[in-house]
Chains A and B, each alone.
Chain A
Amino acid sequence: MNAAADTAGGTPILRAESVTKRFSGLVSVDQVSFEMRKNEILGLIGPNGAGKTTLVNMISGTLRPNEGALYFEGQPIDALAPYKRAHLGICRTFQVMKPFPGMSVLENVTVGALFGRDGGETAMAKARESARDWLDFTGLSHRIDARADSLGGPDRKRLEFAKALAMGPKLLLLDEVMAGLNSVEVEEVIELIKKMRERGVTILVIEHVIKAIRSLSDRVLVLHHGQKIAEGDPAAVLEDPQVVEAYLGRRRH
């Protein structure tokens, strides 16, 4: 299953070295280290408040770690502003979907094409063209002129994907893109993520839908109270007693 990831070899696309983030005394992410290989799908799971989104924020640059370091393709990125990381090819979606509300669907995606990897496309016409392509790819071309804030839940997720893809990502960080979707829609999103990987994108998936994690991930990483408590093959990790307890402990509350 993870043949693609193994053959890539070489420098990992992303490497985290004992990354720590504290908020006024509270440790949100505690000494987490991991690597992502080119073109793999890594599932990041853990109970609410485990520090998953904080970790993604540090990779995308909206937060800086207090300790530790992050490397993208071997190059340290902690000093880089979010927009520079986007130019390197690090793209993300937000847990709370963040379309530009007053812009049309097409304009939203065009922004991605204009400013993404390597500073994006400079010609407006070309950027629009590629935005249309990505809207086709994500199945949203029928809503191309709608205002972004008029979209319903599933379409908003598609828009979020299209925006991220238009940026030409090398590494895509997906923060709970399946939350609030029914099982048919979850199936569609899984297919979409697989299609992205076929195009050579490396993907980090934060998800509560365990079924999706199982069917998508090459490897799984589990955070609990900010610490990495397990990492490895999805089937093995999801059976791990420590992991099960972390989840059961959450349910009891």
Chain B
Amino acid sequence: MKSLPYVIALVVVVLLVFVPWVASDVMMQFAIDALLLAVLAQAWNILGGFTGYVSFGNSVFYGLGTYGTAIAMAQYQLPFWVGLVLGVILAVVCALLIGFPILRLRGPYFAIATLGLSAAMGAIVSNMPIAGSNIGLVLPLVRADTMFYELSLGLLVVCTLTVAWISRSRFGMGLVAIREDEDAAGTMGVNTTTFKITALVLSAFFTALAGGIHAYWISFIDPASAFDPTLNVRMVIMAVFGGPGTVFGPLVGSFILSTIYEYLASSISTAAALLFGLVIVLAVIFMPRGLANMVGGVRAHGPRFFLQNIRENRL
């Protein structure tokens, strides 16, 4: 019973592997973008979904992954994989350095501190000559969408497997205990500092990899795109819309929202953004615990589920 979602996921992954042989160029663009965004949402989920520490600054790690790859390839003509490793190292070191001070902050304080860090990081990078200052860096151009696609898909699978492991492990229980009540978790023997930092490092690891792949694929980066603040918000919303702290919620959420966004953006971009905002507002009102919870709730209670949510949370 519980393994059914995994069987479905396996079938879907196997089908997805063959997409490059049937999809058009435009569809490949969309697919790679959607896969990488899903990785970001899933990586955010490790910290935000399980420990409840809402980061609005994961673009720090994304940007470091991006720049690690770009600097290695554009400035030192090193191969792609060396760049990826460099980007990951930068992101993980950064997570360890900032983790100790900022993970002591809670709730909105943590959220805004991370937002501030991502803004600061953008400004710092745009003043570094080795990172191309505020002009950016150009990477060697390759036309290999199939490789980028399979790489992104692979990354998403590994990231999701990691989350699946977390959700069933002692580590994951500790993270959820921290989310539910951090003080109580501490007195029950959870080493909260180590657990939170480990979650942050894992999140940074996958986020940086997505950034590195994206940099090589796009072949041009600058501070504005690498540390894009709207990216922070998009990954949070995708994860939360789908169901934070679940294995498949962030995936489903990000694919649905990517599709809506893509569809609308191709017609009128302002309307797309507007609808995006409306979806968030309505989702919070009618399904405050995400899609994953809604599916179960509607099955159990029918449409009354939505009214119950409002009754529970209104004044």
Check A-B contact in the complex, CB < 8 A: yes
Does A34 interact with chain B (Cβ within 8 Å)? Answer: no
Residue in chain B with minimal CB distance to A122: B170
Contact between chains at B174 and A100 (CB < 8 Å)? no
Contact A167 B169 (CB under 8 A): no
B188 & A87 in contact (Cβ 8 Å cutoff): no
How distant is the Cα of A60 from the Cα of B185 in the complex, in angstroms? Answer: 12
CA gap between A252 and B28 in the complex, in Å: 79
Contact A83 B173 (CB under 8 A): no
Q: Is the CB of A111 within 8 A of B183?
A: no
**A83, B169: Cβ atoms under 8 Å?**
no
Q: What is the distance, in angstroms, from B197's C-beta to the closest C-beta of chain A?
A: 14
| Cβ proximity bits A116-151 to B, threshold 8 Å, 1 near / 0 not | 110110101001000000000000000000000000
Cβ distance A171 to chain B, nearest Cβ, rounded Å: 13
Residues of B within 8 A of A44 (CB): none
Residue in contact with B176 in the complex, picked from A103, A119, A127, CB distance below 8 Å = A103
Give the contact-size bracket for chain B. 20 to 34
The smallest C-beta distance from A133 to any residue of chain B, in angstroms, reads: 17
Contact with B along A59-93 (1 / 0, CB 8 A): 01110000000000000000001110111000110
Check: A112 CB closer than 8 A to any chain B CB. Answer: yes
Q: Contact between A83 and B189 (Cβ–Cβ < 8 Å)?
A: yes
B170 touches which of A82, A86, A91, A124 (Cβ 8 Å): A124
Residues of A within 8 A of B189 (CB): 83, 86-87, 112, 115-117, 119-120, 167
For B180, the closest partner residue in chain A by CB is: A100
Asked if A100 and B181 make an inter-chain contact with CB atoms under 8 angstroms apart, the answer reads: yes
Q: Residue A114 at the B interface, CB < 8 A?
A: yes
**When the two chains form their complex, are residues B186 and A111 in contact, meaning their CB atoms are under 8 A apart?**
no
Contact residues of B between 152 and 210, Cβ < 8 Å to A: 168-170, 173-174, 176-177, 179-181, 183-192
Give chain B nearest CB distance to A95 CB in angstroms. Answer: 12
**Roughly how many angstroms separate A124 CA and B168 CA in the complex, as a whole number?**
8
Closest to B178 in A: A100
A94 vs B187: C-alpha distance when bound (angstroms): 10
For residue B196, give the distance in angstroms from its CB to the closest CB of chain A.
Answer: 12
Would you call A163 an interface residue if the criterion is a C-beta within 8 Å of the partner chain's C-beta atoms? yes
Q: Is A102 positioned at the interface, with any CB of B under 8 Å from its CB? A: yes
Q: 5 smallest A-B Cβ distances: which pairs?
A: A86-B189, A100-B180, A115-B189, A82-B186, A98-B184
- Starting from the known contacts A81-B186, A85-B187, A100-B180, 5 additional A-B residue pairs (CB-CB under 8 Å) come to A62-B183, A82-B187, A83-B188, A91-B188, A100-B184
